[in-house]
Amino acid sequence: MTTPTLTPPAADPRPGRDGSADAARSTPRRRRRGTAVDRPGFLVYGFLGAVLLGAVFPLYWSFLIGSGDASTITRQDIVWWPGGNFIANALEVIDNPSVNFWKAVGNSLLVSTVVAASVVLFSTLAGYAFAKLRFAGRNGLLIFVIATMAVPTQLGVVPLFIAMSKIGLAGTLSAVILPAIVSAFGVFWMTQYLKQALPYELIEAARVDGASMIRTFWHVALPASRPAAAMLGLFVFITTWTNFFWPFIVLDRQNPTLPVALSLLQSNYFVDYSVVLAGVILSTIPLLILFLLAGRQLVSGIMQGAVKG
């Protein structure tokens, strides 16, 4: 399972740096490659431009339809400029009583934040122990963690649903949060990071000064793990925010997360795509803002060894 993509994030003490930091840090050899002669030509930019267009176009199309009216979609000539109905369509989504838009936004925000915070906390705790503390059975347990990364836990939905119904949590946000509060990938990620980012000398210094184990964790390990913890939190937040299968099964229509509410837009009525796609844009805005603020961190997080899922 340990493949080159699973290399731990670099122990860069400057958290603000993006993926290009490694280029800046690299050897003169890499620098030499970047002489003016080696600048890529028009073809490369043209190709990447086309890829970028492909990445943006569906969102633009969604806005195009979402700002038109019900007749826009059936017109034979394609309208390439947005109409003026986006606000009206968006309001129709927000005011739709069966969608519970604001409730869904609040729920998604709550669930994603709680899950991200707990995954980061538990992963850092366990990662610190695996990376820096000696105890019997450490290697065996770590191998177990790595093996569970490949287990499709989503397939346990049937008993999970039965259990949640039995203890009365079906339909509540707790039912969405509980199965997600730990992550094997998170533990592995923090272990790999702390192995190289946290020198033993620091821990020993704290211990010699008389700090207890938990104090050492809190004042030495936790600050050292901040860059990797931030990236982990970011990925968990996005994964939880976009998750559909389990929330769709366990939540009521009156108490949805955003993707569940969005799916109701399509299934509820006769489908007016201008409203549906206005809803799509509306629901994408929060993550779009996050992307603009933290897109660099996302890129370097993936490049430093993110795993799908």
Chain residues 17-46 in contact with other proteins, contact rule CB under 8 A? 18-20, 22-23, 29-30, 33-34, 38-40, 44-45
Q: Under rule CB under 8 A, how many of the chain's residues touch other proteins?
A: 112
Taking CB under 8 A as the criterion, the residue among 15, 199, 223, 295 binding other proteins is 295
Show the tokens assigned to 25.
């840090």
Taking CB under 8 A as the criterion, the residue among 138, 199, 219, 254 binding other proteins is 138
Cβ atoms of 89 and 255 closer than 8 Å: no
Taking CB under 8 A as the criterion, the residue among 160, 194, 228, 232 binding other proteins is 160
Chain residues 73-102 in contact with other proteins, contact rule CB under 8 A? 73-74, 76, 78
Chain residues 139-158 in contact with other proteins, contact rule CB under 8 A? 141, 145, 148, 150-158
Does 296 contact other proteins by CB under 8 A?
yes
Show the tokens assigned to 214.
């938990």
- Residue entry with tokens 């949590």: 169
Taking CB under 8 A as the criterion, the residue among 13, 15, 48, 98 binding other proteins is 48
Q: For residue 198, give the nearest of 132, 133, 112 by alpha carbon.
A: 132
Question: What is the 3 state secondary structure string of 79-91?
Answer: CCCCCCCHHHHHH
Does 178 contact other proteins by CB under 8 A?
yes
Cβ atoms of 132 and 206 closer than 8 Å: no
Cβ atoms of 229 and 190 closer than 8 Å: yes
Chain residues 226-285 in contact with other proteins, contact rule CB under 8 A? 238, 241-242, 244-245, 248-249, 258-259, 262-263, 265-267, 271, 273, 276-277, 279-280, 283-284
CA 42 – CA 39 distance, rounded (Å): 10
251 pairs with which residues across the strands?
A: 171
CA 21 – CA 19 distance, rounded (Å): 5
Taking CB under 8 A as the criterion, the residue among 94, 146, 222, 307 binding other proteins is 307
The least CB distance from residue 88 to other proteins, in Å, is 19
Q: For residue 122, give the nearest of 211, 225, 199 by alpha carbon.
A: 225
Nearer of residues 198 and 258 to other proteins, judged by Cβ:
258
